[in-house]
Amino acid sequence: MNDLDQIMAMAQNVQAELSKAQANLDTIEVEGQAGGGLVKVRASAKGRVISLSIDDSLVQVSEKAMLEDLVVAAFNDARAKADAASGEEMSKMSAGIPLPPGFKLPF
């Protein structure tokens, strides 16, 4: 029965660490760019968009379609960087936990 208690304690510890890591992701900021930096999006590693910056040179009616494409590209760039930062944080958190091969967090 002692082994079961240890397993339960370890599971509770993993859950607490996972919650802490998830909360920490919202404090990590990444910046996505498009158009050589003319459009920038800042987001948290959790995927929350913090800000959008569009260079004044792009705000012309004739350039509307390009501006929309650049905003989409900047959001996608920020999301990719957020996913990478999230994966890095989660791997740090799970580094000390003896998990079976192929087992991934979160559960």
**In terms of residue numbers, what domain contains 77?**
30-94
Task: Kindly state whether residue 13 falls inside one of the protein's structural domains.
Answer: no
49 within a domain of the structure (yes/no): yes
ω before 106 within 30° of 0 (cis)?
A: yes
- Domain assignment present for residue 107? The answer is no
pLDDT digits (tens, 9 = 90+) for 36-77: 999 998 888 887 888 888 888 888 888 888 888 888 899 889
What was the pLDDT predicted at 98?
65
**pTM exceeds cut of 0.75:** no
Report pLDDT for 61.
Answer: 83
Q: Are 28 and 14 in contact (CB under 8 A)?
A: no
User: What rounded mean pLDDT belongs to the chain?
Assistant: 81
CA distance 76 to 74: 5
Sheet holding 39-44, edge to edge: 29-34, 39-44, 49-54
Count the domains in the chain: 1
Query: Is 2 among the domain residues?
Result: no
Percent of the chain's residues with pLDDT above 90 = 8
- How many other C-beta atoms can be found within 10 angstroms of the C-beta atom of residue 70? 21
Q: Is residue 4 part of a domain?
A: no
CATH of the domain at 45: 3.30.1310.10
Cα–Cα nearest to 90, from 23, 32, 29, 43: 23
